[in-house]
Structure 1
Amino acid sequence: MSADVKSDNQPYDDINVTPMLDLAYVLLVVFIILTTASVQGVKVKSPTTHATSNLAKPQTRAITITADGAVYLDAYPVDMDQLRDTLAQYKAGNPALPVVLKADAAAQYDKVMQVLEVAKKLDITEIGLVTKRAAPE
């Protein structure tokens, strides 16, 4: 018998990693799907408008005001001081910070103005107001 031929009892020198990579990719895809499916905003009934615009930009922060006047920043409840501090941190990281304001149609106008004042004091100029598109007449 020659020394070049391996017998069946000798251990392998390499490991086939293809099945492990397949499993890793499947787990990654499942994780991405579950994560994006679980990200939910705060539901409010937006006012309607006939104008359309595309406000989708990277790193956009969403401020939501519910009908009872509760304020949320990216689906987390905040008061005005927390809103100011958190937006200031985001503004320091991104000087052109885009913000969208989504308020319930029944929300108090005073609360909307307070949020807009916070944005004005922080020199946030890219503010979009979220509305629902009205049905064509």
Structure 2
Amino acid sequence: MQVQKKRKPYDDINITPMVDLTFVLLVIFILMTTASIEGIRINLPKASSSQSMASPTTKAITVDSRGQIYLDTYPVTPAELEQELRIQKSITPDLPVVIRGDRVSQYGKIMEALDACGRAGITQIGLVSERPRGS
């Protein structure tokens, strides 16, 4: 004859999976908040009001004070910019692009970036400025 042991009900809750989930979410939060594009220092012009156009697939074009054009943080020529935008547009048809121009940058260089966007078929273009004081 076999003796059956009585199963004892659990008196406590195992919180190890919840702690693991918390740490994973914390790591994801830290990575996402530090992943913004801040590689090129420029002085943005001020605007009276601003509206955010940021999304995970947004491409940033930056024109620094010397007139150098960057796609995200990589220096490019206008031809390279257009080519890369065409590639990204084929991957993401509704690709949004933001243009960041230093307040002393040459207007012609910003127009070159805008023209490259137009030739690549980009229709969602935003111009970045500093937030007004008090916002």
Identify which range, 85-94 or 24-33, moves more after superposition. Answer: 24-33
Give 1:72 shift.
2.2
Per-residue deviation, 1:135: 5.1
After superposition, where does 1:11-50 map in structure 2 within 5 Å?
Answer: 19=16, 21-40=17-36, 41=38, 42-50=40-48
Identity of aligned residues (%): 30
Greater radius of gyration (CA): 1
Scaled by the length of structure 2, what TM-score is found? Answer: 0.74
Which residue pairs with 1:92 in the alignment? 90
Distance (Å, rounded) in 2 between the aligned partners of 1:60 and 1:115? 15
1:18-65 superposed Cα distances (whole Å, 9 cap, x missing partner): 52x234313312321331243242332111222433423552221111
**Alignment length, in residue pairs?**
126
Q: Which residue of the partner structure matches residue 62 of structure 2?
A: 64
TM norm structure 1: 0.73
SS in 2 for 1:128: strand
2:4 is matched with: 4
The amino acid that maps onto 1:118 is A
Return the letter of the residue paired with 1:126.
Answer: Q
| Pair 53,118 (structure 1): closer, same or farther in 2 beyond 3 Å | same
Cα 1:51–1:27 change in 2 (3 A) is closer
Structure 1 gaps, min length 5: 7-15
| 1:71-115 per-position Cα deviation (integer Å, ceiling 9, x unaligned) | 222233333333222211111122222111011101122211111
SS in 1 for 2:67: coil
Rounded Cα–Cα distance in structure 2 between residues aligned with 1:127 and 1:81: 18
- Corresponding residue of 1:10: none
